[in-house]
Amino acid sequence: MDSTDFRKYAHQLADRIADYYDDIEKYPVKSQVKPGEIYAKLPNSAPEEAEDFNAIMHDFEKIILPGISH
């Protein structure tokens, strides 16, 4: 990843965090997953090749975010 891509993805991530705080009342206060559910959905090891930023964000939205508690 070069510095141009890093800046682009960092800005996208900062925007996603800001959107989260702007819309925080739309999210449940408690985690919506059972203990161990997120762990079970994650791969056993890191990928051999770099993953696309959008794929990482998709996994965050679908796997990690439902487990967040406020």
- Average pLDDT of the residues in 1-12: 96
Q: Look at phi and psi of residue 11 and say left if phi exceeds 0, alpha if psi is from -120 to 50, else beta.
A: alpha
The CATH-assigned architecture of domain 3-67 is Up-down Bundle (1.20)
- Average pLDDT of the residues in 28-50: 94
Residue 18 has pLDDT above 90, yes or no: yes
Instruction: Please state, in angstroms and rounded to a whole number, the distance separating the CA atoms of residues 10 and 56.
Output: 13
- Average pLDDT of the residues in 5-16: 96
52-70 residue pLDDT tens: 999 999 999 999 999 998 7
Note if the pTM is more than 0.75. Answer: yes
Query: If DSSP codes are grouped into helix, strand and coil, which group holds residue 44?
Result: coil
41 Cβ partners below 8 Å, 6+ apart?
A: 63
Instruction: Please state, in angstroms and rounded to a whole number, the distance separating the CA atoms of residues 13 and 18.
Output: 9
